Amino acid sequence: MKSNLKNIAVLTSGGDAPGMNACIRAVIRTGIYNGLNMFGVMQGYQGLIDNNIKPMDARSVSNILHMGGTILKTARCLAFKEEEGMELAYKNLKAKDIDGLIVIGGDGTFTGAKRFGEKYGVNVIGIPGTIDNDLYGSDFTLGYDTAVNTIIEAIDKIRDTADSHDRLFFIEVMGRDSGCIALRTAIASGAEAVLLPEKETSLKELISKLKDGVNTKKSSSIVIVSEGNKYGGAYDIAKSVKRKFTHYDTKVTILGHLQRGGSPSGFDRILGSRLGYAAVNEMIKGETMQMVGLRGNEIKLTSLEEALNIHSYKLEADLLEMTHVLSI
Amino acid sequence: MKSNLKNIAVLTSGGDAPGMNACIRAVIRTGIYNGLNMFGVMQGYQGLIDNNIKPMDARSVSNILHMGGTILKTARCLAFKEEEGMELAYKNLKAKDIDGLIVIGGDGTFTGAKRFGEKYGVNVIGIPGTIDNDLYGSDFTLGYDTAVNTIIEAIDKIRDTADSHDRLFFIEVMGRDSGCIALRTAIASGAEAVLLPEKETSLKELISKLKDGVNTKKSSSIVIVSEGNKYGGAYDIAKSVKRKFTHYDTKVTILGHLQRGGSPSGFDRILGSRLGYAAVNEMIKGETMQMVGLRGNEIKLTSLEEALNIHSYKLEADLLEMTHVLSI
Amino acid sequence: MKSNLKNIAVLTSGGDAPGMNACIRAVIRTGIYNGLNMFGVMQGYQGLIDNNIKPMDARSVSNILHMGGTILKTARCLAFKEEEGMELAYKNLKAKDIDGLIVIGGDGTFTGAKRFGEKYGVNVIGIPGTIDNDLYGSDFTLGYDTAVNTIIEAIDKIRDTADSHDRLFFIEVMGRDSGCIALRTAIASGAEAVLLPEKETSLKELISKLKDGVNTKKSSSIVIVSEGNKYGGAYDIAKSVKRKFTHYDTKVTILGHLQRGGSPSGFDRILGSRLGYAAVNEMIKGETMQMVGLRGNEIKLTSLEEALNIHSYKLEADLLEMTHVLSI
Amino acid sequence: MKSNLKNIAVLTSGGDAPGMNACIRAVIRTGIYNGLNMFGVMQGYQGLIDNNIKPMDARSVSNILHMGGTILKTARCLAFKEEEGMELAYKNLKAKDIDGLIVIGGDGTFTGAKRFGEKYGVNVIGIPGTIDNDLYGSDFTLGYDTAVNTIIEAIDKIRDTADSHDRLFFIEVMGRDSGCIALRTAIASGAEAVLLPEKETSLKELISKLKDGVNTKKSSSIVIVSEGNKYGGAYDIAKSVKRKFTHYDTKVTILGHLQRGGSPSGFDRILGSRLGYAAVNEMIKGETMQMVGLRGNEIKLTSLEEALNIHSYKLEADLLEMTHVLSI
């Protein structure tokens, strides 16, 4: 059954992720191509409440495909968790006759969208945009691939100096409670070990691995620390290790927010385009309360319900085992 | 049934591709980890014939994960197509007691490997290493993702100058008879049109699209030309278009061999690592005459027979349609 | 003597160069800081004639510092060479009470500015913006440093594949009749030889150098060809060499317009900022008919007269000699 | 007077810097070209003491020009400050008949070289290799230009996320007690303010500047903090500011060791090549106890005495003033 959709608004919410702009461009242009009026909401749900909603044409998204961040800006918005905030948001949409809302973000974003859609009957489609790759229903979330590339470029640089000095580096990477970024950047950077939220690592095991490296004449070692790991931050772990392992000079780097920015990779530009394109097409077809995601090489729907309730990233134990083997 | 494999050699053949070094590292270290003796063959099949085969230890592949090209070098080798060449190659392997051969390359490489394996009973596993992404049995071939990133970085730069001058650019990209690179870089760079080997484009349609861009106030236009398209090279097409469309100043860029090089992306480093790791593990398990490939998020076997006979890349018609919609 | 300057306009003309946006930002903000009204002219002199001149405030140049190209766009404008065109341009400036014009470009741009300033008494300051580094009075022109970085990144990638295949590459780079880019990228990329506009190279000498490389076991060779060299384009030279030197497989790459684009390097961002800042400050002090340039680490004035008449780039013979020594 | 130099050794000492490999290549090849025997010392002065000195030929420095770090490795060596250590070092050089020593590093490196040269009469030439740009006698030190580019690429990424979230970022950069990196990256990244070792900034002034940004509708602000500034680390400063300025969400990034690595820029590859080439040529001419440096566009000698005693980097007050103007 085809919807009678006329006006769609799009917003980005939660942490920004590279590829969001490619996705916004796709949403706007796909809507316009299909004869809809398109709107952009500034600063996520806050902009819905503040009525910071502007019409967008095809040229308004020119030359943004390759840019990091989000031209719609993003924010975390407490007011939208309250009845009052949602009510205001709804009135603002209603006043503009906007009957579809596409939200790009992570689980917090989807939680809000789901409640909003249920309560007011607005058509809602979610697009998984977060570097953390922690959403069920999409093999990869928008921004994750770029973040991995950004991180390994940084580690390649650190490896230069680590090698020149025979040093041990602990490098803390993002990912919240998902170890996906940590595990995969560990593989991609040839790290000697990785500490994950999904699996406790004993200090003893870690030190034993580092000693193996010394014995086999490695000129440096790199340990990736996922911010969500159970043991603590990179500084804490470095301190504990230093007490029992003094062969190398030890340094710590917290990569921080540079992991979120940068021009999106080809992968993320294509993914963002496909997800944005699909979101609008699915909404036109009458779909609502769904997330569009990449599975294999296809775009598939998952209900927001499922996307929110099923824990997404499962430790890829075979990849962890491989990390050990390949860093001998 | 477990093989009694003792010694494995690895070679790269055909065009080089980013990620081959990550893959070589994985092959060597996985073999050593499993107690095998590992050998590297220089310059592809030529090195087999010339007995340019050297033992490799874990340190011999240190610090290569992030490098473009292949430390084993590669070559196209006519002699290996002859009985005599193969015979010599076999004697050289035999003399070193090498009973397994892992080849990284494209279909030419696999054709040689298949004949060799069939004739001499050497265990053979193929790894899909080519930027063209044109092999059946793997969603992505090693090097393709990096090539896409390299190309879009180049196009982003060209877009800067195209926009500043209101210009039309024809940009020729690699891919042989597969349009995968062309189509996906067109999406990722926001190109206005793309010419593919899989689908003829009428000049009329192309010019109409370019005129639409002028009417909607685009400040530049970019057309991606796949080297294998039916119409001709980028220079030829530009000449034909210029005759009938003079709104913009027209320029041509042939990206050429820079598309093959560069530090591999995270995706290709992980893919190369996984494929190399799997190739050795599968050979240890007794597999032979197979290709390891990525399907969805898993490594799967495809027989060399199938990989060679089934045409791989099918035009992703939905993505081509999307390219038109998103470049309005 | 202080001028009574009230309104300044800025334009970019000729080929675009990375760092132009940083320079535009500096011009606009320095003017505003000093209480002037600032204007941007679109598409170089064409915009003066077409009255495409718009007021610019401090926010209008936000977030452009790091972008390639020029937000003011550029064009080559024949009409401005005619009396009529200049007259129109002057009337348009006069109507807006604009009494100062800052032009960013190369010698063609300065020629126009000089004639215009002489004829109409408009205050004129030139800023050397061209990747070719061919202007007297500035050690480096805006965009040159970025172009060098862009080129060597491309050559690094080509080196990967050249090394993997034992190949000889001829790489053609920009620079018009100045060999500065070619010579310096040859040094920076470890090229085996370089062909310059300023010095004829005998084919014999070139081939002898390449043979030396083979004898000393070089696995690849790279020859940089300046587009302005006397011998011909890279394809021609490659053909001539191939006839007498067949050791390597020979390939050609014309880097083309990607050399003009890209995010400016730190050097060019700082240079653009300093030149733009100085241009406005000097004009406020009453200077006119001058070019601001970098000499050593200082910004100095050179009269447009001198900048145009003195041939700028002299072959750095010591660097050419060094190139030979370092590529043994 | 020409020296009778026969054998030269080269070492890198102190912190590593991009371009060191380009410089090592130039030293080795220039020596070989001139008929000398060349040696590389591993791990700086430690290698002299440990007799970790190896002969190097032209091929031993192939394909390193573009690599970060130093293939000779580096270390800080306390033992070389003692009589005993120096004595051992001298014996090791003597045993190999090495009569010239070229050291690449910063002031600590030069101090050692000067004492060693004075005591044992070994010919010594220093090459300024440090990202800090803090040596008298060279406008730029080797590695500084690359570090600036690395930092601004990181800040560009952070700017993406800062803009998307309306945030204030404090970014700490290297430079020891020299503010050159901080000041110049502040200009190149369009930072709103910069804290330097050479000039105290009042908190009041800083907050006033940030408030101006809010009033003029800046969507984010970035403050560069030089590690050597008097006020404290970036975390401390952020904490103090947050107490009195709450408009933006405030974040801190310590860029850390990634600033030292990475492929050298064109500028640093050319600089490293020229300095290495000149160092050997000058030593052949009989020079000793000198540093080679870049002044304007020429390579000039400065005595180690002067290089060590004259404080190098003076605050570029005009550039600091410009930073304020351009970030309005």
pLDDT in tens, D70-123: 999 999 899 999 999 999 999 999 999 999 999 999 999 999 999 999 999 999
- Chains that contact A by 3+ CB pairs under 8 Å? B, D
| D160: closest chain A residue by CA | A69
A65 touches chain B (CB under 8 A): yes
Which chains touch D (3+ CB pairs under 8 A)?
A, C
The dihedral formed by the CA atoms of C325, D2, D4 and D10, expressed in degrees to the nearest 10: -50
Q: In this prediction, what percent of chain D has a pLDDT beyond 70? A: 99
The overall average pLDDT reported for chain B is: 95
Token pair recorded at residue C232: 């011909």
The rounded distance, in Å, linking the Cα atoms of B205 and B212 is 11
DSSP A244: H
In this model, does residue B109 exceed pLDDT 80?
yes
- What ranges make up the beta strands (E) of chain D? 7-12, 37-41, 53-55, 100-105, 123-128, 167-173, 193-195, 221-226, 249-254, 290-295, 298-303
Instruction: Tell me the pLDDT band of D1, cut-offs 50, 70 and 90.
Output: very low
Q: Strand pairing partners for B9?
A: B39, B101
| Residue in C211, C234, C195 with CA at minimum distance from that of residue C315 | C195
Cβ <8 Å between B68 and C160 = yes
Residue of B nearest to C162 (CA): B69
* CB of B269 less than 8 A from some CB of A: yes
pLDDT band at C1 (very low <50, low <70, confident <90, very high): very low
- Whether B139 has its CB under 8 Å from any CB of chain A: the answer is yes
Q: What is the CA radius of gyration of chain D?
A: 22
- Please report, rounded to a whole number, the percentage of residues in chain A having pLDDT higher than 90: 90
Report chain C's mean pLDDT, rounded to a whole number. Answer: 95
Identify which of D30, D188, D270 has the shortest CB distance to residue C325: D30
CA D226 – CA D233 distance, rounded (Å): 8
Max Cα separation, chain C?
71
Distance CA B14, CA B3 (A): 29
Q: What is the mean pLDDT of residues B153-172?
A: 95
* CA dist., res. C22 & res. B44, Å (int): 49
Interchain contact C258–B (C-beta under 8 A)? yes
Return the percentage of chain D with pLDDT > 90, whole number. 90
* CB contact (8 A) between residue B156 and residue A263: yes
**Two tokens, residue A25:** 């461009």
CB contact under 8 A, C217 and D66: no
Is residue D272 annotated as involved in ligand binding? no
Q: List the single residue in B163, B266, B297 with the smallest CB-CB distance to A185.
A: B266
SS3 A120: helix
Neighbour count for residue A298 (Cβ, 10 Å): 11
pLDDT of residue A231: 87
Which positions in chain C touch B161 (Cβ < 8 Å)?
15-16, 68-69, 257, 260-261
For residue A168 the two structure tokens come to 């041990």
Size of interface C-D (CB pairs under 8 A): 123
Size of chain B, expressed as the number of residues it contains: 328
C52–chain B Cβ distance below 8 A for any pair: no
Residues of C in contact with B225 (CB under 8 A): none
| B322: nearest CB among A139, A266, A277 | A277
Any A CB within 8 A of D68 CB: yes
A259 touches A226 (CB < 8 A): no
Cα gap C12→C71, rounded to integer Å = 9
Q: What letter would DSSP give residue B22?
A: H
Is the Cβ of B302 closer than 8 Å to some Cβ of chain C?
A: no
Q: Which residue is listed with tokens 């930073």? A: D323
Please state the ipTM of this predicted complex: 0.96
Of B191-205, B307-321, C33-47, C224-238, the least confident: B307-321
What is the average pLDDT across A176-202?
94
- Residue B3: pLDDT band (50, 70, 90) is low
The answer, yes or no, to whether residue A1 has pLDDT greater than 60, is no
Evaluate if residue A313 carries a pLDDT over 80: no
Provide the Cα torsion D88, D93, D96, D99; round to 10°: -150
B325: nearest CB among A149, A217, A277: A277
CB contact under 8 A, D165 and A75: yes
Q: Nearest CA to CA, how far is C327 from chain B (Å)?
A: 21
Rounded to the nearest angstrom, the minimum Cα separation between B256 and chain A is: 19
List, edge to edge, every strand of the sheet that includes B167-173. B193-195, B221-226, B167-173, B249-254
Q: How far is C97 from chain D (nearest CA, A)?
A: 25
Q: How far apart are CA C179 and CA C190, in angstroms?
A: 16
A76 compared with B97, residue with greater pLDDT: B97
- The residues, ordered by sequence, that sit 6+ positions from A126 with a Cβ below 8 Å of its Cβ are A102, A103, A104, A105, A109, A110, A113, A290, A291, A292, A304, A307
End-to-end CA distance of chain D: 58
According to DSSP, residue B312 is labeled -
Nearest-5° Cα angle at B322, B321 to B327: 110
Q: Sort A35 into a burial class: Cβ within 10 Å, 0-12 / 13-18 / 19+.
A: exposed
Provide the 3-class DSSP secondary structure of residue C52. coil
Angle at B26 between CA B20 and CA B30, to 5 degrees: 155
Q: Residue C3's pLDDT band (boundaries 50, 70, 90)?
A: low
Residue A312 has pLDDT above 80, yes or no: no
Tokens of B284: 């240890």
Confidence class for position B315, pLDDT limits 50, 70, 90? confident
Name the minimum distance, in Å, from the CA of D146 to any CA of chain C: 9
* Higher local confidence (pLDDT), A111 or C200: A111
Q: Do D253 and A251 touch (CB under 8 A)?
A: no
Using CB atoms, which residue from C29, C266, C327 is nearest to D328? Answer: C29
Helix (H) or strand (E) holding A181: helix A180-189
Tell me the C-alpha to C-alpha distance, in Å, between residue D276 and each of C325, D25, D280.
12, 8, 7
Query: What is the distance between the alpha carbons of residues B135 and B312, in angstroms, rounded to a whole number?
Result: 5
Are the beta carbons of A144 and A174 closer than 8 angstroms?
A: no
| Model pLDDT for residues A199-232, shown as the tens digit of each residue | 988 899 999 999 999 998 888 899 999 999 988 8
On chain A, the residues whose CB falls within 8 A of the CB of B265 are 149, 265
Own/partner contacts of A86-95, CB < 8 Å, gap of 24 or more, are A86/A115, A86/A116, A86/A119, A86/A120, A88/A48, A88/A49, A89/A45, A89/A48, A89/A49, A89/A116, A90/A116, A90/A119, A90/A120, A90/A122, A92/A48, A92/A49, A92/A51, A92/A53, A93/A9, A93/A48, A93/A53, A93/A122, A95/A51
Segment D228-235 shows an average pLDDT of: 91
Kindly list the residues from chain D whose CB atom is less than 8 angstroms away from the CB atom of residue C267.
145, 148, 267
Give the closest residue to B129 by CA, choosing from B45, B47, B20, B46: B20
Query: Is residue B200 very low, low, confident or very high in pLDDT (cuts 50, 70, 90)?
Result: confident
Amino acid of residue D134: D
Asked whether the predicted pLDDT for residue D3 surpasses 80, the reply is no
C65, C152, C216 member nearest D190 (Cβ): C65
Nearest to B257 among C69, C161, C166 (CB): C161
Q: How large is the average pLDDT for residues C244-252?
A: 91
Structural domains present in chain D: 7-143+264-309 (3.40.50.450), 145-260 (3.40.50.460)
**Given the DSSP bridges, would you call strands A100-105 and A123-128 parallel, antiparallel or unpaired?**
parallel
Cα–Cα distances in angstroms (integers) from residue A152 to residues A123, A189, B315, D159, D206, in the given order: 39, 6, 32, 20, 35
| Interchain contact A269–B (C-beta under 8 A) | yes
List the catalytic residues of B. Answer: 132
Q: Are strands A221-226 and A53-56 parallel, antiparallel or unpaired?
A: unpaired
| Helix, strand, or coil (residue C108) | helix
* B156 and chain A in contact, CB less than 8 A: yes
Size of interface A-B (CB pairs under 8 A): 122
Which of the residues A21, A33, A187, A328 would you substitute to probe the B interface, choosing the one with the greatest number of B C-beta atoms within 10 Å?
A: A187
C31 is in an annotated binding site: no
- Counting beta carbons within 10 angstroms of the beta carbon of residue D212, is it exposed (0 to 12), middle (13 to 18) or buried (19 or more)? middle
Consecutive H or E run containing A20: helix A20-33
For A234: left if phi > 0, alpha if psi spans -120 to 50, otherwise beta; the answer is alpha
Contact residues, chain C, for B73 at CB < 8 Å: 163-166, 219
Residue D286 is labelled as binding a ligand: no
Rounded Cα gap, residues D136 and D313, in angstroms: 7
Which pLDDT does position A3 carry in this prediction?
A: 61
Contact assignment for A68 to D154 by CB distance below 8 Å? no
Which among D38, D139, D267 is the top mutation candidate for probing chain C, defined by the most C β-carbons within 10 Å of its own β-carbon?
Answer: D267
- Find out whether D28 is annotated in a ligand binding site: yes
User: Is A132 noted as a catalytic residue in this protein?
Assistant: yes
For residue B1, pLDDT beyond 80: no
